[in-house]
């Protein structure tokens, strides 16, 4: 719920800034309006860049070095199981996205594989 509230606040701030930009654009001094608009856009870019940097830092700190090492060791010891899980996941995603023709062709292949 906090993420939704944060998103709504950010959206409202963005809409408010957009309204200010539009008002500045309609002012009598176009040079001043463009300068304000450029400053506002630069501020948004800076904040966005800062947020992305913070997200990347949080993502990299998600796992400890020991956990990463344990994951790597499991991956190396269970290659076939990992491959099976990956293919199964991809197949499920493909089925969600597939067209009717794709599903028909896939059904034929599955039936042929079962009959073997």
pLDDT tier, 84 (very low <50, low <70, confident <90, very high otherwise): very high
The whole-model pTM stands at 0.43
In this structure, the answer to whether residues 10 and 42 fall within a common structural domain is: yes
By residue range, what is the domain housing residue 56? 2-60
Q: Which of 40, 60, 80 is the last residue in one of the domains? A: 60
Is pLDDT at 39 greater than 90 in this prediction? no
Does residue 95 share a domain with residue 51?
no
Residues in Cβ contact with 37 at an 8 Å cutoff, skipping those fewer than 6 apart = 21, 24, 25
Tell me the three state secondary structure of residue 114.
helix
Distance CA 45, CA 54 (A): 14
Q: Count up the domains in the chain and report the number.
A: 2
My answer on whether 26 and 52 are in the same domain is yes
| Whether residues 55 and 85 fall in one domain | no
Judgement on whether residues 74 and 51 belong to the same structural domain of the protein: no
- Separation between Cα atoms, residue 1 and residue 20, nearest integer Å: 29
Q: What percent of the chain has pLDDT over 90?
A: 41
């Amino acid at each position: 719920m906090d993420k939704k509230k944060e998103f709504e606040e950010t959206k409202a701030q963005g809409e408010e800034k957009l309204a200010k930009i539009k008002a500045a654009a309609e002012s009598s001094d176009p040079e001043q309006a463009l300068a304000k608009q450029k400053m506002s856009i630069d501020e948004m870019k800076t904040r966005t860049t800062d947020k992305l940097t913070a997200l990347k830092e949080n993502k990299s700190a998600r796992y400890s070095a020991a956990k990463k090492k344990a994951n790597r060791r499991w991956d190396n010891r269970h290659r076939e199981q990992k491959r099976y899980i990956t293919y199964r996941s991809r197949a499920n995603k493909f089925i969600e996205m597939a067209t009717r023709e794709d599903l028909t062709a896939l059904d034929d292949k599955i039936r042929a594989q079962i009959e073997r």
